[in-house]
Each structure stands twice: as C-alpha cells, then as structure tokens.
Structure 1
Amino acid sequence: MASYHFSVKCGNYNGRKTSATNHLNYINRDGKFKNIDKNNNEKQINECVYKENFLPAWAEGSAKNFWSSAEKYERANACVYKELEFNLVNELPLKENLKIINNLLKIEPMNKFYYSLAVHDKQKSAITGTRNLHCHLMFCERENDGIERDAKTFFKRYNAKNPASGGAKKSIMLNDRKIGKETIKKLRDNYANIVNDILKENNIKETISSKTLKEQREEAIKKGDLLKAKILDREPEKHLGRKLVKDVNLRKDIQEIRILNKKITNMLSKSDFKEKNDIPRYTALQVDNILKNFSQELATNMNKLQKDLEKMYPEVISEERAKIMAIDIATKGKYKIFRELASKIDKSNSDDINKQYAINANKLKKEIVSYLDKPEVKIYVNKIVNNILEKNLPIKNNYNKLNSNLNKMRLQLHTIGKLRKATGTQIKLDKGKNIKYEVKQENSLSTGDASYNEANNYNNAKILAEAFAGNYSLGALVAKIVDDKYDEFRDNITSNKADGLSQETDSALSL
C-alpha cells in the first residue's frame, strides 16, 4: 500500500557532529554500515538496492571526494548537506520507482543541486514487520552554475561581481525563513502529485496526499464525504528515527494504533455505517464548517478580484479622458503643453517668470480654442473620441462585469455571515445530541461529480442554515435524524409520538 512520508533534514558537521561522509556511508551501506547485521541473523543485509551521484568535475566521480571536501572547506557551523527522505511504492518495480525520483529531481530547486542518492529496500520494517522501500537523497545547496572551480574554490563565499573568482552560490530556496517554508510545501505537494501520477500510470487506484489529516478531514466534510471524514478523524502518527525505533514499548504502541486504525477503517467501510440511501446528512457543526470554508474561499477570491480590478482600472478610459487624449492628438501635443504650463502658474506669485508662464499659457489657450472651434476640427475630435472609446469598450465591459461580480460576492459573504449566526445557535442547541439534518430533494443525491457535489453541499448547507434561522417555507424540505438508529422525525414531529429530543429542536428547525 502506498503511504506518504517526505521529510527534509539538515546535516551540520561542526554544529551537530553529523559527518557528511559518515552519512554517505550510512545511505550506501558502506564502511562500518556495510554489514550492520553481521552479529544479528534476523536483520537483512544488502538493503541498498540502487545508488546514484551527480557531482562536479573536480570530484572525479567520487561522492566521498565531494562530501569530504564539503566538510573540509565549507564554513564553520554551515549546513554541509541537506537530505530528502521519502517513501517509494512497494507494489511497483524499481524501474517505476526510479521515475518518481527522477521526476522529483527535475523540479526547482532540486534541478540546481549536486547530490548522492540511495534506495533502501527493507524487507522487514522495525515497526510493522512489512516491506519498507524508500529513498535517501543527500544534496549540496550550492547551485550548479556551470562554472568550473576546484574543490576549495567551490565552497568559498559567493562573489556577485565576479562569480568565477568566488564559490558557487548557496540557494536561499530552502533556507530563507519565508521562501523556505513555501519551497518545502511545494516539494511535498510535488512529491505526492508525482507518486499519484505513477500510480495512475500503473493502474493503481490508491493515492497519497501531502495534506495533514486535519486538512483532509475538513476537505471531506466540505465535500460531504462523511465516511471519509470519520476515517480521517484520528491523531497523526509520528515518524520514528533510528534511536526511537529501538524503544520496544513505543514500537508496540504504534503497532496497536495502526491495528486499531485499520479496524476502524474496515468497520466504517461496511454498508451498516454508510449514510442511509447515500443521501448527504449533516450535523449543525458540519453545516457551519461548509459555510465557513465557502466564505473563506469566497474572501480569498474577492481579494484576488479586487487586486485585478485595481490593476485594470488605469486601462479603463472614461469619456472625459478620451476627449483629452483626442484633443492632444488633434493639436499635435499643444494641449498637453498648455496643461503643463497651467500647472506651473502660481496665482499668488507676481515675479517675472510666473508672469511669463501666464502669458505663454494664455497665448497657447487662444490658439487651441480658435482651432477647436472650427467645425471640421470638432468632427475630427469626435471621431477620435469615438475610436478610443470603441477600442476600449471590451476592457470597460470586462471591468464592469468583474466589478458586478465583486458586489455579488460581497452580498453573498454578508448573507453567509448571517446564516452562520443561526447555525451557531443550532450547534449550541444540539450540543451532546447526535442529531443530523437532511435536505429532502432530488438534487441532494450524489452524482459522483466532485465539483457538482461540492456546490451541492453548499446549497444543502445554505438551505439547512436558513431553516435554522426560522425560514418556515423550507420546513418541508428538512428532515431531522438521530444518527444511531436512523429514526426520522419529519412525519411525526407534531404528534404525541415524537420523543423529547425532537421536541427540544423543532422550534429551531421551524418544522
């Protein structure tokens, strides 16, 4: 089964006593790591099934030369190497798994670095006892810029004015406080996408996700996939290092957690736990989450649209601006010169220079007015104005359309805010009671189309929230269900048979 594990580690020789050459031996299973199980027949030998290096010319094809030079010449307390450690797919042959590695090495910033990598094929994991196929990818953050240097020069400080005389530049992609976080997130996302593409190519339906369990659960709730949300409602499992793996009690705890999670997954997948008739059902909290996620998405889109409109605004030409442009064209720039002169005139100042500005401006004004009074010139100016406005019309129409959309989104966001107040009241009323709500209409059934279902879940949530707000016209559309017995109260809500639980909430539902 494909599983997600992708970590970024830093090796600091002086600061953390983590030797790059020692780690190279570890991932290649060389030196003292060659037969680490020599005295323990239960452990596997020859775990390293593939090795590869990409090195500068001065290393002469030797990874040991490269990494020992890094330790020798890199500045004190520098991060001598970084390492990506990530899972591969047990069900696929090595050739297909190498595609995952090669595709990862093609993306930025990995395509800029020298590296050493090794693939380990552990037939028996220390925790689960199952196969564990994974990759260790050591890389140097000094970028490959195509300049030939010797080992000592390569690790010198970068010289921006004369790159050839200094060392190779250290990438900020993984070190900068802000950019580093974004880079790691993109790498994790890219890794998941690459693995999923390879799985799809090999007709494996299973996928992996770089998102946290919490993010995946919220996404499932938003889409109305309550079964998946239940499966994802668990604590994330921590990845164990070599030292923690030796802790027998810790290993035992994790094994028990994995067995329990598997049981829960199997149990929830049974038909008895599926929602009745596959009709989406929501708690008041889930309704609020759907509305909340939609409003957050709406606010993000509004912010982007607002910025787009601000950028577009200078390109929208008004009739007044078109007329100014036309007069400038008709007078061959004289009107522009007049405006510039007029802006320099200070009415409170009577010095000679200011008087000269005023004289020149008045003289030019009379000349322009006289010229523009001619009938043929008026026709010419109007023609230019019309041409400008006609050419600008698509931009203006698009601006008006986007601005109208922005106003609609503002109104929609305001409406959602009011609905969430009603939903918040319902959450308090339902606290401690396992109640779900269902919209009784044909289009609430699943179609299998993700985008349609996402919009449909929002529509259902909106209807339920309006019912919570006391909209009597929606009462006939809403059913209330006790989740453990699937008892429907809609038909007997006003009869004496209705139990105390339904009586406590009927006023809020307005049924």
Structure 2
Amino acid sequence: MASFHYSIKSGKKGSARRHANYIDRKGSHSDKEDLIQTGHGNMPEWAGDDPKRFWSVADKHERANGAVYREHEITLPSELSTEQQVELADRLAKNLAGIKPYQYALHAPEGKLGGDPNPHIHLMCSDRLPDGIPRTPEQTFARYNAKSPSAGGCRKDSGGKSPMELKQQVTAQRKLVADTQNQFLAENGYSARVDHRSLRDQGIARSPERHLGQRFVKEMADAEKSQYAQCRKEAQVASVT
C-alpha cells in the first residue's frame, strides 16, 4: 500500500564522499544486496561527470560551518514494479534537484517488519546553484559574492532565507514529492495515492506511526514483528476507507 514518507537532513563537511559510498553500496557497504539503481546529474565541468570527485572536492573546500549536501529520503509505492520504481526514482531526483548537482540511489531491502519490500531512494543534492560562470573546484565552494558573482562561489539555495521561508520551502518540496508520485501512479493505472499533509490536516483521527529504529526492531520477537506489521496495515487501510 502506498504511504508517504519524506525526510530531509543535512550532511556536514567531510561526510559527503563517505555517504555517497554508502548509498551507492561501495567499499565496506558492497555486501548489501538491496541496491536497485543509481544515478547522478548536473555535475560541473571540472568534475568530469564523476560524483565522487564532486563530493571529494566539496568535502575539502566547502565552508567549515556549511552543509555539503542535503539528503532527501523518499519511500516509493510498493505497488509499483521494479522497473516503474526505477523510472519514478529518476523523475523524483530530477524534480527535486532542479539545476543543482545530485546523486541518488534506489534501495529495496526486505522490510524488517512483515518481510515486505521497502523501496526508497536516497537523494544527495548540493546546496550550490550553478549560474553558468566558469569556476575552479575550490572557487565553486567559496562564499558567494552578490556584487561580483564571478569573484565568489556559487550561491547556496538556502542562503539568505529566513526560517519561515525555509519552512515553506520544505512544505513545497513535500508537496512536489507527493504530486510527482501521484501523477506517476495515475499514469500507470494505479488507484493508490499518497498525501504529504499531516494526519490532522487530512482529518484522520489516529496517532502518527512511531519510528521504531533498527535496534528496537532487531530485539523484537518474530511474533511481535508480525503483530505490529498487521496492525500497521490495518491502520493504513482504515485511514483510506
């Protein structure tokens, strides 16, 4: 059953290349067997269409107190086939990233509760906005110069925005994710839909699902996992009937 999950978090300086290896299942993460698809785009010319080089340079030259990337984690509708999930993942990545450099990976691990697949994407987006001005790798991540853009780095998408504006941006991104998924579901003949709004705003009188965490789930008995998964499905069905 399609359900909406979308979260954003920031990656600090020095963590981007390592996290890119994690989502790409490279290096010490290569033993994981849940990787379905990877992709990237909008890399600057100096990166040579190589996201690893881009993140390595960002880790080195981004300002010490600045976010090197924003990670968007999005659950995909389980109704879709693997091929459809690949297509939707690519569409979501492009819609959210816009013109910013990005890298994404589609994972489909077996769910720890109930054993159902848990298809989701990890999308890493740079906060730097390309503007067509040629820059060296180091200058790309320098402070933006509003009076003379060619003398500074690329402007940051979050730069100069108030907390209210940033909150509104997140709300707009949540809506974009839901709209993109719903359009794709409709295009492919599915009746399921997702809703980015809170349960209260949807008029649904139940508590939000509590995130249990991997450690908690591992400590649950098999019977507890099955019971929790069944209750979760029943709650989802009740919310749409």
TM bracket, shorter-chain basis: 0.7 to 0.9
- Aligned-partner SS, 2:209: coil
Q: For residues 33 and 257 of structure 1, what CA distance do their matches in structure 2 show?
A: 29
> Is residue 75 from structure 1 mapped to residue 63 from structure 2 by the alignment?
yes
> Is residue 132 from structure 1 mapped to residue 118 from structure 2 by the alignment?
yes
Q: For residues 35 and 158 of structure 1, what CA distance do their matches in structure 2 show?
A: 41
Partner of 1:51: 38
Q: For residues 154 and 269 of structure 1, what CA distance do their matches in structure 2 show?
A: 47
Selected match of 1:237 from 206, 209, 220: 209
> Is residue 260 from structure 1 mapped to residue 238 from structure 2 by the alignment?
no
Q: How does 1:111-190 map to 2 (within 5 A)?
A: 111-122=98-109, 124-172=110-158, 176-190=162-176
Displacement of 1:48 in angstroms is: 1.3
Q: Structure 2 vs 1, CA of residues 59 and 251 (structure 1 numbering), >3 Å: closer, same or farther?
A: farther
Selected match of 1:208 from 171, 194, 200: 194
Q: TM-score, normalised by structure 1?
A: 0.43
Q: Structure 2 vs 1, CA of residues 68 and 237 (structure 1 numbering), >3 Å: closer, same or farther?
A: same
- The AA in structure 1 aligned to 2:60 is K
Q: For residues 159 and 197 of structure 2, what CA distance do their matches in structure 1 show?
A: 21
Q: For residues 267 and 147 of structure 1, what CA distance do their matches in structure 2 show?
A: 53
Q: For residues 234 and 187 of structure 1, what CA distance do their matches in structure 2 show?
A: 25
Q: For residues 184 and 268 of structure 1, what CA distance do their matches in structure 2 show?
A: 24
Partner of 2:17: 21
Any conservation in 1 of the 2:127–2:157 contact (CA below 8 Å)? Answer: yes
Q: For residues 148 and 240 of structure 2, what CA distance do their matches in structure 1 show?
A: 64
- Aligned-partner SS, 2:147: coil
Instruction: State the structure with more CA Rg.
Output: 1
Q: Structure 2 vs 1, CA of residues 265 and 77 (structure 1 numbering), >3 Å: closer, same or farther?
A: closer
Displacement of 1:173 in angstroms is: 7.2
Selected match of 2:26 from 16, 30, 46: 30
Q: For residues 180 and 92 of structure 1, what CA distance do their matches in structure 2 show?
A: 32
Displacement of 1:115 in angstroms is: 0.5
Displacement of 1:144 in angstroms is: 1.3
Where does the alignment leave 5 or more consecutive residues of structure 2 unmatched?
none
Any conservation in 1 of the 2:39–2:90 contact (CA below 8 Å)? Answer: no
| Per-residue Cα deviation, 1:402-455 (whole angstroms, up to 9, x for no partner) | xxxxxxxxxxxxxxxxxxxxxxxxxxxxxxxxxxxxxxxxxxxxxxxxxxxxxx
Q: TM-score, normalised by structure 2?
A: 0.87
Q: Structure 2 vs 1, CA of residues 212 and 131 (structure 1 numbering), >3 Å: closer, same or farther?
A: same
Any conservation in 2 of the 1:73–1:155 contact (CA below 8 Å)? Answer: yes
Question: Which structure would you say has the larger RCO, counting Cα contacts within 8 Å and 6 or more residues apart?
Answer: 2
Any conservation in 2 of the 1:192–1:209 contact (CA below 8 Å)? Answer: yes
Over the aligned positions, Cα root-mean-square deviation in angstroms equals 2.9
- Aligned-partner SS, 2:101: strand
Q: For residues 73 and 88 of structure 2, what CA distance do their matches in structure 1 show?
A: 13
Q: How does 1:359-508 map to 2 (within 5 A)?
A: none
Q: For residues 19 and 93 of structure 2, what CA distance do their matches in structure 1 show?
A: 20
Q: For residues 60 and 269 of structure 1, what CA distance do their matches in structure 2 show?
A: 47
Any conservation in 2 of the 1:174–1:184 contact (CA below 8 Å)? Answer: no
Displacement of 1:33 in angstroms is: 0.5
Q: Structure 2 vs 1, CA of residues 259 and 143 (structure 1 numbering), >3 Å: closer, same or farther?
A: same
When the two structures are aligned, how many residues end up with a matched partner? 240
Q: Structure 2 vs 1, CA of residues 116 and 143 (structure 1 numbering), >3 Å: closer, same or farther?
A: same
> Is residue 64 from structure 1 mapped to residue 67 from structure 2 by the alignment?
no
**Seq. identity, %:** 32
Partner of 1:346: none
Report which of the two has the higher share of strand: 2
